[in-house]
Amino acid sequence: MEVAQRYWMIELLAFWEGQINTTPLIKSFGLSRQSVSALFKQYQEATGNDFVYDAKRKAYPIDDHFKPHYIDQTVDEYFDWLNYGKIPTFSNTATQSTQHRIEALARFVSPQVMRPLLKAVKDKTAVDCEYLSVSSSDPQGRLLYPHSFVKTAGRWHVRAYCDMRKHYLDFVLSRFQHVDYDGKASEHTEQQDTLWNTQVTLILAPDSRLTDKQKHVLENDYGMTDGQLNITTRAALVKYTLDDLQIKTKMLEANPQAQQLVCVNYTDIKQWLYD
């Protein structure tokens, strides 16, 4: 692993978790504790970011002056490493790519919001927060018990039990105004979230108004079997899945070529939709 990659991981953990200790780095780098301590010093000299060991927390917390040099500061970058072990390469040689991707606009997610949420998900505890919903002009205080993060339509949500609403809801990360770690042990965990644990199958097919040739093109595009495509998702994510696939359920597009796909088992899945 390159030195830049090691510096990147130090920054990634420090930035999103608010602190860092040697244990995850020892496991990731395959180095001794002494070697990781030396790496910390090298990183500090290279970047000017100082770490002061906190014996009570058994970690090196960061302060407001911490300035990242290697990470891109998106929450996707953190989750890509956490879930898939994805580590970027730092090459000085420019290469001409034959691949071009149009990326969705990034939604800003504050590390001050993420740090207590990440800790609460890990510890199965509560957070005290202020959240600005689209239906309210002012932030509302809530006690939440978060259990999972979900990305859809280019933005991240946290799935949590809301003590104010008394059921599980999805909260857009960029709409949190303030989050504090509460530490209260949760009685409302992932296991009690019925919609999260209910598996639902969406049956998709080409719009019936298309010609047979047009239907065949779509069947080939999506690798359909017998003219249909089955997608299994969680009941809590049915609406998100259909939205991401641009499949309308309330009304059909006037032009079937614009609609393209329809959900043929709407009656079965409509209970999982919301307005």
- Read off the pLDDT of residues 20-69 as tens digits, 9 standing for 90 and up: 988 888 988 888 989 998 998 999 999 999 888 899 888 999 988 999 99
The domain made up of 111-193 has a fold known as SH3 type barrels. (2.30.30)
Averaged pLDDT, 155-167: 94
pLDDT at residue 275 tops 70: no
pLDDT range class, residue 180, cuts 50, 70, 90: very high
What count of residues does the chain have? 275
Rg (CA), the chain: 23
Identify any residues that bridge with 180 across adjacent strands, giving them in sequence order: 128
Mean pLDDT of the residues in the chain:
90
Report the C-alpha gap between 10 and 17 in whole angstroms. Answer: 11
Spans of all domains in the chain: 3-84, 111-193, 198-272
- Read off the pLDDT of residues 73-129 as tens digits, 9 standing for 90 and up: 999 999 999 998 898 887 766 567 788 887 777 778 999 999 999 999 999 999 999
pLDDT at residue 250 tops 80: no
Averaged pLDDT, 168-183: 94
pTM: 0.87
pLDDT at residue 252 tops 80: no
Query: What is the model's pLDDT at position 190?
Result: 95
Report the C-alpha gap between 12 and 8 in whole angstroms. Answer: 6
User: How many CA atoms lie within 13 Å of 116's alpha carbon, on the beta-carbon side?
Assistant: 21
Query: What is the model's pLDDT at position 92?
Result: 64
- Tokens standing for 190? 């992932």
Query: What is the model's pLDDT at position 227?
Result: 94
pLDDT range class, residue 223, cuts 50, 70, 90: very high
Q: Strand 199-206 vs strand 167-172: parallel, antiparallel, or unpaired? A: unpaired
